Amino acid sequence: MSQHILTICYLIGSITFIIGLKMLSNPASARKGNLIAAAGMSIAILGTIFLFTYDENGTVHHLGNYIWIFAALLIGSIIGTLSAKKVQMTAMPEMVSLFNGMGGACAALISIVEFNHLSKSLGASPTTEMIHHAQPTTLIIVLGLIIGSVSFAGSMIAWGKLNGKVKDFSFTGQNILNIIVLASALATAVYLIFNPQQHSLLYVILGLSVFYGVFFVMPIGGADMPVVISLLNSFTGVAAACGGFLYDNKVMLTGGILVGAAGTLLTILMCKAMNRSLKNVLIGSFGANAKSTSAAGIQGDHKEISLSDAAMVMSYANKVLIVPGYGLAVAQAQHTCHELEKILTDKGVEVKYAIHPVAGRMPGHMNVLLAEADVSYDILLEMEQANDEFATTDVVLILGANDVVNPAAKSDPASPIYGMPILDVQLAKTVIVNKRSMKPGYAGIENELFFKPKTSMLFGDAKKVLQDLCAEIKNA
C-alpha cells in the first residue's frame, strides 16, 4: 500500500514541476509557480523518506537513518534560506552557479556511491553473465559521473569568474587539450562499461571530467557567461535524470529531464541572441579573446547632459523607452526606476522597457529585477519588439547597459561582439546614457554609441540619478 501512495506522491511532484515551470514564463505568476514546484518536491522528499521500502534477503526495510537525513535537511534548509535572503540581485548569477554546481556534485556522488555498491555485488571475479547484466547500470553511472563532474567543476569556475575571484585563462592549443581530455574520459568510460570490475577507473574518469570542467570554462570571456550558466544548468539536469534512471525514481527523472531540456533550449536561444555557435560553446572557445581585442581608447568626444535638461526632455516626450542593464542592478535602482516610470506616465508620456535577452549577468536577469519592483509585464518589450519601436521613440534612457546597445555589433567586423543582435537605440531621436564613468562594459570593449551626435551622457550612480530625475520631473 505504501508503494502505491509513494507513486502518487511522485506523480504529484512531477505534475507540480511541469506546472511550476510553465508559470515561471510569466513574472506575474513566477513566484507562485516556484512555490508550487517546491511544494511538489517537498511531497516527493517526505514520501521517499517515510514510504520507500526495499527488499533485502526476503525482508522489507524502510530507509532508516532518520537522524542523519533530517539533520542534513535542516542544515541545508537553514543555509539555503539565509543565503537566499541575504543575496543581492547583482550577486544572483553567482548564487545560481554555486547552487547549480552543488546539483552536479550530488549527481557525481550518487554515481560514485552506486558504483561502489555495484562493485561489491560483482565481487572479485565476476562471471560474464554478471558483467553483461551490470553494463546498463554502469553506463548510467559513468554518464552521471561525467556530466555531473563537468557541471560541478565548470559551475565553480563560473562562480569564481562572476565574483571576480577567478580570472580568464587560456593558452595556445587549449581547445585541442580540452577535446583530448574529454575524449580520454569517454574512452575510459566505454572501457569501464565493458569491464565494470575495474572499479579504480571510475576515479580516473572523475579526475578527467573535473579537469575538463575547469578548462572548459576558464577561457570564456565575461560577456558570454549567461550562455555558460544556461549550458551548465542543462548539464546538471541531465545528470539528475541519470540518477532517476539508477533509482527508478520517476520524480527525479522528470525533474532532471525538465531542467535538462529547458536549459538546452535556453542555451540555444542565448547562442542566437549573442551570435555564438553551439559547437564553439561545447569546446569552450567562444568569448576567449573579447577582453584582449578591446578598443584602444576613446573614439571621439562625448557630450554630457545636465539633470534638469534630461528631465525636461523626458517630461515633454511622447514616448520614452528605458533600457535596463547591469548598472541598474548594481545600484539596486529598480524601484526608483519604476517610480520614474509612474511619474512620466502620469504626465501623459508613454513609457516602456526594452529588454535584451542577455542584459545583465544571466538569462532573464533584467526581467526578474523589474518584476521585483512590480513593473507591469505588459510594458516589457523583447528585443525584436523594442527594435520596431525605437524609430518612433523620442527618448531612450539607458541605465547601465553597454554591450547590448553597442553599434559595433553591426558595423565593426573586427569587434568581438560583431554579429550579436543588439537593441537599435541609435534610431531614437535622443539617447541618454547613465553610467558611472566612460569605462568599457563587461565585454571590455569601447562603445561607439557614446560618441554619436544623438547621445548624451548622464554620469552618476543609477539610483541617485533616477531619484534626482524624479524630483526634477515632478517640478517640471
Show which residues are catalytic: 403
Residue 71 and residue 351: Cα distance in Å, rounded? 51
C-beta of residue 115 within 8 angstroms of C-beta of residue 199: yes
Beta bridge partners, 73, equal none
Alpha-carbon distance of 416 to 402, in angstroms, equals 14
Distance of CA 2 to the CA centre of its chain: 38
φ and ψ at residue 55, rounded to 5 degrees:
-100, 130
Partner residues linked to 12 by β-bridges = none
For the chain, helix (H) and strand (E) counts, in that order, are 17, 8
- Alpha carbons 107 and 64: distance in angstroms, whole number: 22
Question: How does strand 395-399 pair with strand 380-382?
Answer: unpaired
List, in sequence order, every residue forming a beta bridge with 55; answer none if it has no partner: 60
Cα 387 from chain centroid (whole Å): 25
Query: Measured between alpha carbons, how far is residue 154 from residues 163, 220, 282, 342, 345 in Å?
Result: 14, 11, 12, 42, 45
Phi, psi of 458 (to 5 degrees): -120, 95
What separation in angstroms does the CA of 202 have from each of 138, 141, 214? 10, 9, 19
Q: What is the DSSP string of 175-230?
A: HHHHHHHHHHHHHHHHHHHH-TT-TTHHHHHHHHHHHHHHHHHTT--GGGHHHHHH
Yes or no: say if 12 and 48 are a contact pair by the CB < 8 Å rule. no
DSSP H or E run through 304: none
How many residues are given for the chain? 476
Longest CA–CA span in the chain (Å) reads 87
Taking Cα atoms as reference points, which of 163, 200, 199, 174 lies closest to residue 87? 163
In the structure grid, which three cell numbers stand for residue 280, read together? 564553439
Instruction: Give the pairing type, strands 395-399 and 430-435.
Output: parallel
- Residue 419 Rama label (left phi>0; alpha psi -120 to 50; beta): left
What angle is formed at CA 239 by the lines to CA 85 and CA 251, rounded to 5 degrees? 75
Let me know the angle formed at the C-alpha of 322 by 317 and 325, rounded to the nearest 5 degrees.
Answer: 155
Please state, in angstroms and rounded to a whole number, the distance separating the CA atoms of residues 195 and 314: 71
